[in-house]
Homo-oligomer: A and B are copies of this chain.
Amino acid sequence: MVELRDIEIFLALARELHFGRTAERLHITTARVSQSIRKAERRVGGPLFERNSRTVRLTALGEQLQQDLSAGYRQISDGIAKARARTGAVSGTLTLGTMGPMAHTIKPVLDLFESTHPDVTLRHREVQPPAPLDLLRSGDADVALVYLPVSEPDLTVGPVVHVSDVLLMVSTSHPYAERESICVEDLGDHCAFLPGRLPASMEAAFQPFHTPSGRPIARSARLPSTWHEVLGLVTAGHGVLGAARDAALYYSWPGLTFVPVRDMPPVRWALVWRTADESPLIRALGHAAREVSSETP
């Protein structure tokens, strides 16, 4: 009933001889270290450390146990690492950037990924729609879920994970709010936001620059930098903006209405990463994404 975790803690403390540093190294609290050592001492039947609030020292018993356990612990760790290497299992931390609701949209992919790669820690960062590629460029995310088209020389576009219709977000007091649906031509009559720092091709996915008949679609001078600012401006009637259908599901704000744009092609969402920083972890995530899309077409 002494488990590997306890042995790990014991060995760490035996080397550090300091509860605080041991806890830090293992990313746990000193309380846990204390509890674990206490448990080990129970099991063994005697004290492994002599300690007070000023000093920590191995007892003879502890010293011997350290000798005996460290070799075995090494062997086991190495054995598992070897087997993991052989299967190509990956581990580490992967930071994924998503725009609010989209994280939930790809939950099946993340679930599969986490269960097939239990030693990977997934972290999340919020992608701001006005600047969807910034998080990748700054290195704050390893992979991001963004809408296409993305054709940047430094970025790789991975598997498409999700497809969503385009709706127009308008204030409830806007004339279009009453409409069943609108068409792109209608956009020529109203002012849209310039969403922010993003390539024109991406901007056009939700917000074309011209109507089918060739009329320009105007941009507002306002430059919101976060998604909530965008929602606020739209609600206040300062403009309109194309958005994914998913937004309508998650942001049913009072004062905000979503109107389908019937002649805009659906927007595809894909995993994107820095080509230069592609890693086994990223490939594994891409693999999981392809698995899921293939089983639920």
Contact = CB atoms under 8 A, between A and B. Distances in A.
Contact of A5 (B3, B61, B69): B3
Contacts of A276: none
A87 to B, nearest CB: 4
Size category of the A interface is: 35 or more
Interface in A1-59: 1-5, 7, 42-46
Given A72-B79, A76-B69, A87 B46 contact: yes
A115 B118 CA distance: 34
Nearest to A39: B118
A68 B75 contact: yes
A84 to B, nearest CB: 5
A5 B4 CA distance: 9
Contacts of A3: 3-5
Contact of A64 (B1, B4, B82, B115): B82
A89 interface: yes
B43 A119 contact: yes
Interface in A54-90: 61, 64-65, 67-69, 71-76, 78-80, 82-84, 86-89
Contact of A73 (B72, B115, B119): B72
A115 B42 CA distance: 8
Contact of A79 (B5, B65, B76, B88): B65
A71 B75 contact: yes
The 8 closest A-B pairs by CB, nearest first: A45-B89, A68-B79, A72-B75, A45-B87, A46-B87, A72-B76, A72-B72, A3-B3
